[in-house]
Amino acid sequence: MSNERKPGDQDPDFGENGVISVGLNQSTGGHIKRLSDGYLIIGTYVAGATARSLAQPATSVITHATPKGLHYRAGEKVGVVTVRLDTNGKLVESYGTGGYAFLELFEHRVRVTGSLVVPNEGVLLTLGLYDLAGGESDSLIVIKVGDNGEMDTSFGINGIHRPALKYPNSIAGGMALQENCKILITAETIKTYGDFDSTVMRIRKDGVTDLSFGKDGFVYSTAKAQESYSRIRLDSQQRIYVAGNLGDKMAISRFFDNGSVDESFAEGGKFT
């Protein structure tokens, strides 16, 4: 049998025979990002052995929550876990504790919806969460994790940015970083099922809404729930491309750096 490696074969020199297995009774599924000297795995964790079973019969009901009757296991703590690996897939022991860094954020549920490496090799994360204090489902926040795995408290308020979207029930789509380190994020902000607005928002590198972008930091689709924004990319001129759907068609829109529509692109700034 030949030992010649073919495209698609596992690399036996990476991790253990081409496989990385990480976790300490936590869930680390989610995102992996390439760093200059290795990789960063990003996921969520829940304290306790019942980490993967958040729902249970109606024994503990948050009557003030939305949706009402949300079930949870009282007392569990959740947050974000990041795992640092070198280029060979080995844990970087100097990162966090033995290669793992944990950020306890909220009770009940946190979901990583986006990740973006910044120049100092920290990472920006968009999170959807159920917050027991407010009870809103899929509230959207942005956090910044430093290159040491700790919360960067210089970003936003103690490391957290809460965008002033139209509705508290909001879900992030794509993320992009401009040359000036300003952060672009697409999102849907939901009033009720089937009634939502899509938006592109911009945040300064210090975690404050960039009021020079669009109107007060946001550009909303004029098509309302007919249009969804998902992915976002930049070209060499820093023009902004947003991909999604308009009705039952794929759509790509182009914006200038200040958030205004580039009407020279396709038809009135939009290709469908």
Q: What is the pLDDT along the chain (272 residues), one digit of tens a residue?
A: 456 666 766 667 666 666 666 654 455 457 888 898 888 888 877 665 333 323 333 333 333 333 333 333 344 567 888 889 888 888 899 999 888 888 887 655 677 888 899 888 789 988 876 554 544 555 788 999 999 999 999 999 999 998 988 887 788 889 999 988 999 999 888 877 778 889 999 999 999 999 999 999 999 998 877 888 889 999 999 999 999 999 889 999 999 999 999 999 999 999 99
Q: What is the pTM of this model?
A: 0.78
The pLDDT score that the predictor gives to residue 29 is: 56
Question: What does the block give as tokens for 244?
Answer: 């999604």
The pLDDT score that the predictor gives to residue 171 is: 82
DSSP string, 70-131: EE--TT-EEEEEEEEEETTS-B-TTTTBTTEEEEEEEEEEEEEEEEEE-TTS-EEEEEEEEE
> Rounded to whole angstroms, what are the CA distances from 93 to 36, 73, 99, 148?
17, 33, 5, 11
The pLDDT score that the predictor gives to residue 112 is: 82
The pLDDT score that the predictor gives to residue 233 is: 96
33 contacts: CB under 8 Å, gap ≥ 6: 39, 40, 42, 115, 117, 123
Q: Under DSSP, is residue 7 helix (H, G, I), strand (E, B) or coil? A: coil
